[in-house]
Amino acid sequence: MSQLSHTIKTLGNRNLNSYTAQMRPLVLGEAVALYISRRDRQSHPEGTFDKQSRWYPSTEERCDCCASIRTPSAAYPYSYLVHCRTAEHIASLFGISLDDLSAAIRRAEDRGGDEAKAYKQWLKNRAHLSPFVDWSGEGKATPKSR
């Protein structure tokens, strides 16, 4: 479970507004960077393959939004993997609205691909400040587990 998801469940909705007001820009920026990284196949969701080469997300990666995704089969072995790269899943993973994430993604991409790359590098340089994303490894951005 990501640190943010754990914090949200711990605080409950009544205290969440003050917490997210302070952390919102950081969390939103990290969500955008993770979405772009996964979309471009620079990072991958946490999960495992079974003996029939079907991919399943780890317990930390699984969110409520995953319940509506078809179970992997021989015909569609990557149904969860494809879903875990979507903006809907990333928004759920970070506990933010899909509308906010989509708007932030559009802003980052409207400013040019170079700015999105620069933004990811800026976030990577701030890795020690982030309680939410683990940037260890080469270009791998994954939500931190508790």
Give the helix ranges, DSSP H, for 1-145: 3-11, 13-39, 79-83, 87-94, 98-110, 113-125
pLDDT at site 112? 64
> Does the structure show a pLDDT above 70 at 79?
yes
* The pLDDT of residue 91 is above 80: yes
What is the pTM assigned to this prediction? 0.65
Tell me how far apart the alpha carbons of residues 123 and 106 are, in angstroms, rounded to a whole number.
18
Q: Select from 89, 95, 88 the least CA-distant residue to 62.
A: 89
Tell me the β-bridge partners of 145.
Answer: 2
Q: Give pLDDT tens digits for 102-115.
A: 988 888 887 665 65
More confident residue, 27 or 130: 27
Length of the chain (residues): 146
pLDDT at 64: 93
Mean pLDDT (whole number) for 78-90: 96
Q: Given pLDDT bands bounded at 50, 70 and 90, which one contains residue 117?
A: low
Q: Between 47 and 128, where is the model more confident? A: 47
Identity of the residue numbered 90: I
